[in-house]
A and B are shown apart, each in its own frame.
Chain A
């Protein structure tokens, strides 16, 4: 039995997501994410043909897994898991070997183009520690993103998870991801960019 008081979790209600990418822009502003890389983004997929057609959105961000593979493989302990579950990166210790990028099943890590270290979404832990919510949760115009304590039975995230079917991405990887989705569409996830051959 988990004895922790706090385990942060993230819930995205895809019924409310309108694909406006406000979360993407807010994240860039809050964390100073470099040009050309993203910590959080919205995958957009068009489904069907003309009369019967729709768009599917899948906001993606770091899952801050319960069993993070990036923490296991980091040779210099730059990635560490806090007691409340958030996986942090240490910019002063990372050597830019990119092993964590290669092993992350969610491809949410990126190499900072100038600093040459690997960064990722950390659920704005500087804001959480100050008692605020993550920037993308704060900015979401439809309230699709919910952030809260999974150990607290009265929290909004626990209440929503108790009332709805929730899914996580790639549970078969065994990392126990902690970003939950309501109304998750497998087809949107399975539509991937085509493979292009590049000699590099």
Chain B
């Protein structure tokens, strides 16, 4: 609306609902789901070359999942009451209800999966891995549904949101795993040598995951920019408004395009310092993806 014609004199705005803490929560569940996918590569999908990093990956997945609910409980007004009420009063129309069960069930699966993996019980590991993959995907996918069900916000209310969240979870999990594997094999393990085939193999998968992520982001923004008025305002906000530095710059250019080039070009991929920096950028970029989606999606006033 033209500011010269009408002027707002008085209005009430209460508060922005979801901010940093929910972004952190989504980010860590994403990292956890991505790491879990990496850990099941050797047992579930038969990629035997990734066997040495399965244990590192499952520990990372479990650790990330321990941080995530802390941020969630700091966000809600009544943490103890929320733990009880989520199971006592069920509303099966709400994605958050399913989330409560997943956030309790997924760590249990994770811990038993890790237990059997450390005991070298291949059969049970494979069984729990095949249970764990859908659980991990659901635990992160439901967060996309939470946002998609917030139908007042044009940026959230899209059927693409769960898929977008899942793909970015896999991207961030893969990047974190490359980074952690490099650090552990370079500085902590006895051989002091980074396993080149594992790291570069993960980098190749990471590159293709980033391609899918960029494609989905493009679809989302492209449809948003020709949709109804609120959606167009939102598209303008991320493409040419207040959130452009974070969305275009940090999230997509530094966080996706640059690492994608590093992961695709063989000469750069073999330079492990460049690969480590690229993966660190991905991990940072996906955090800002969560932040822009959660916080940026609701800064525009509706009334």
A-side residues, CB < 8 A to B, are 37-38, 41-49, 55-56, 60, 69, 72-78, 93-99, 101-107, 109-111, 115-117, 169-170, 172-174, 187-193, 195, 197-198, 200
Q: Write 12 A-B pairs (CB below 8 A) sorted by A numbering.
A: A46-B9, A47-B7, A69-B151, A69-B152, A73-B93, A95-B76, A99-B150, A102-B298, A105-B302, A174-B151, A190-B1, A192-B1
Chain B: number of interface residues, binned into ranges:
35 or more
Contact of A195 with B301 in the complex, beta carbons under 8 Å: yes
List B contacts of A173 (CB < 8 A).
Answer: 151-152
Residues in B with CB closer than 8 Å to A172 are 228
Q: Is the CB of B17 within 8 A of A44?
A: no
Q: Is the CB of A74 within 8 A of B94?
A: yes
A99-B242 contact given A69-B152, A104-B152, A191-B1, CB 8 Å threshold: no
Instruction: Say which one of B81-89, B178-186, B250-258 lies at the interface with A.
Output: B81-89
Contact residues, B122-179 vs A (CB, 8 A): 146, 149-153
Name B86's contact: one of A75, A104, A107 (CB within 8 Å).
A75
- A42 contacts which chain B residues (CB < 8 A)? 10
Asked whether B302 lies within 8 Å of A187 as measured between CB atoms, the reply is: no
Does the CB pair B15–A110 fall under 8 Å? yes
Q: Given A75-B94, A76-B86: A55 and B14 within 8 A (CB)?
A: no
Closest to A36 in B: B14
Residue from B19, B81, B89, B241 in contact with A77 in the complex, judged by beta carbons closer than 8 Å:
B89
B299 within 8 A of A: yes
Q: How far is the CA of A128 from the CA of B90 in the complex (A)?
A: 29
Contacts of B11 in A (CB 8 A): 41, 43-44, 192-193
Compute how far the CA of A41 lies from the CA of B19 in the bound complex, rounded to whole angstroms.
25
Chain B residue nearest to A42 in the complex (CB)? B10
Inter-chain contact B82/A95, CB cutoff 8 Å: yes
Q: Please state if A95 and B78 are interface contacts (CB–CB under 8 Å).
A: yes
Question: When the two chains form their complex, are residues A191 and B94 in contact, meaning their CB atoms are under 8 A apart?
Answer: no
Partner of A107, one of B9, B299, B302: B302
Tell me the chain B residues, 1-26 only, with Cβ under 8 Å from chain A. Answer: 1, 4-20
Q: How far is the CB of B117 from chain A (nearest CB, A)?
A: 33
Is B225 engaged at the interface, CB distance under 8 Å to the other chain?
no
**A46 with B78: in contact, given A98-B18, A195-B301 (CB under 8 Å)?**
no
Q: Are A106 and B302 in contact, with the CB atoms below 8 A?
A: yes
Q: Are A191 and B7 in contact (CB under 8 A)?
A: yes
- Contact indicator B97/A187 (Cβ below 8 Å): no
Query: What residues on A are CB-neighbors of B88 within 8 Å?
Result: 76
Q: Which residues of chain A are near B82, meaning CB under 8 Å?
A: 76, 95-97
Complex Cα spacing A169 to B81, Å: 35
Name which of B75, B88, B94, B237 has the most chain A CB atoms within 10 A of its CB: B94
Nearest neighbor of A199 in chain B, beta-carbon distance: B20
Contact yes or no, A73 B301, CB < 8 A: no
